[in-house]
């Protein structure tokens, strides 16, 4: 028998447990909560929301005069061979 470890967003635990319990060859479903899960936001939405709150009203890109040209330069960097 093999143990499979899956990391899941907190709000999805119950639905995944239900799905797994319906599979005949799954013998046991066990939930182990870690302290890092309790401290850090888990969902993508929560992570983005936290970043936006940290940024606040800072004007991060105010020194960019021509956004289109700036994007072209960024893309050129991606296309370079290393």
Q: What is the average pLDDT across 46-70?
A: 90
pLDDT given at position 33: 76
A 10 A CB-CB count for 35 gives 7
pLDDT given at position 35: 56
Q: Specify whether the CB–CB gap between 27 and 1 falls below 8 A.
A: yes
- Cα 25 to Cα 5: distance, rounded to the nearest angstrom: 16
Q: What is the average pLDDT across 25-41?
A: 72
Q: DSSP class of residue 54?
A: H
**What is the value of pTM for the model shown?**
0.38
């Amino acid at each position: 028998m093999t143990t499979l470890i899956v990391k899941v967003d907190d709000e999805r635990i119950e639905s995944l447990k239900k799905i797994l319990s319906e599979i005949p060859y799954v013998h046991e479903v066990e939930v182990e909560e870690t302290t890092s899960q309790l401290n850090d936001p888990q969902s993508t939405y929560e992570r983005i929301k936290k970043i936006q709150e940290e940024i606040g009203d800072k004007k991060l890109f105010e020194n960019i005069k021509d956004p289109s040209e700036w994007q072209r330069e960024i893309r050129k960097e991606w296309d370079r061979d290393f």
